[in-house]
Amino acid sequence: MGTRQILLTFLFSCCVYGQFGEVKIVFDNRLLKVHEQQNILPLKQDIIRYIKSTRWDEDYSDLQIPLHIQFIFEGAAQKGAQETYLCQVLFSTGTDQRYFDKSVQFPYGQGGLLYFDLVKFDPLSSFLAFYVNLVLAGEMDTYEPNGGTRIYELCREIALRGTASEYSRGWPDRSKLVNNVSTNFGLRKTKFSYYYAMELFQDGNMDEALLEFSNMIKGLDEVYDRSPREHYTMLFLKAHTNELAKVLQLLGQKNMLKDMMELDPDNLEIYKQALY
């Protein structure tokens, strides 16, 4: 049994929930007034507590995904008893998942509690839940074929509620984002096959590894037919090019390296070095 299958068995039986490991929050608040900066001082810890303490999924319970979130605040306006903040936000796992949102709006006041409720929309809690689940779904796709499907559906539901809310800014674009990512079945196939192939290679199952690398390239072909140089596929490949080229070289897979030179022209020189 491979290491990822062993981990899955552990996930289903584990009672400690930790989908996310280290959560790092960075604020760029230079455009905010002094009192606005002071108001959001507790927000970093509120977000970390929210992400790490929420049970985002019952099954994949101990993935320990690292998550880096950067808020770039653009301004704030008084609305009732709270300030409403405008910002751009970057979510990244530090490897092959990265999402940048340019249109975020939410009210925040000290003492407010962040918690996830699918039925009751909250501008900040729901915004964070959307991207946290988007990252989680992407990770689940690496453990089983299309493993993140039900979580993508959850993201879609959050986006629909956001679009219908009084804080609808950015939510139609997020709805398009989850639709694009979840229906990019070529990339989803590529991700699973890549990780599974690497596991098989490390376990010494070379024939099975080659089969999965072949499936990976088929997935990339599907992406190329749909949208050459698709953004999230290019991000995924950029994160894994060196390791992929090295393993294909060790396996003597010249044809696969040539395929990758065509499918991933941004990293052509890396594949060329492995080929020659």
How does pLDDT run across 70-90, given as a tens digit for each residue? 999 999 998 777 899 999 999
Residue whose token pair is 């989908």: 19
Instruction: Give yes or no for a contact between 201 and 229, defined as CB atoms under 8 angstroms apart.
Output: no
| Contact of 3 with 204, CB cutoff 8 Å | no
CA distances from 1 to 5, 10, 204 (A): 6, 13, 12
Each residue's pLDDT tens digit, 190-223: 999 999 999 999 999 999 999 999 999 999 999 9
SS3 84: strand
Distance (Å, rounded) from C-alpha 62 to C-alpha 214?
30
Q: Which residues of 226-250 are buried (b: 16+ CB within 10 A; e: fewer)?
A: eeeebebbbbbbebbbeebbebbbe
| E strand or H helix that includes residue 130 | helix 123-140
Q: Quote the pTM value.
A: 0.92
Per-residue pLDDT of 114-167, as tens digits, reads: 999 999 999 999 999 999 999 999 999 999 999 999 999 999 999 999 999 999
Whether pLDDT at 3 is above 70: no
Is it the case that residue 1 has pLDDT exceeding 70?
no
Tokens standing for residue 199:
């596991």
- 98-113 pLDDT, tens digit per residue, is 999 999 999 998 777 8
pLDDT score recorded for residue 82 = 82
pLDDT value, residue 17: 54
Q: Which amino acid is at 132?
A: V
pLDDT score of 117: 95
Ordered by start, the domain boundaries in the chain are 17-182, 185-275
According to DSSP, residue 144 is labeled S
| C-alpha to C-alpha distance for 179 and 152, rounded to whole angstroms | 8
Q: What mean pLDDT value characterizes the chain?
A: 93
**The pLDDT value given to residue 259:** 98
- Strands 20-28 and 82-92, bridge-based pairing: unpaired
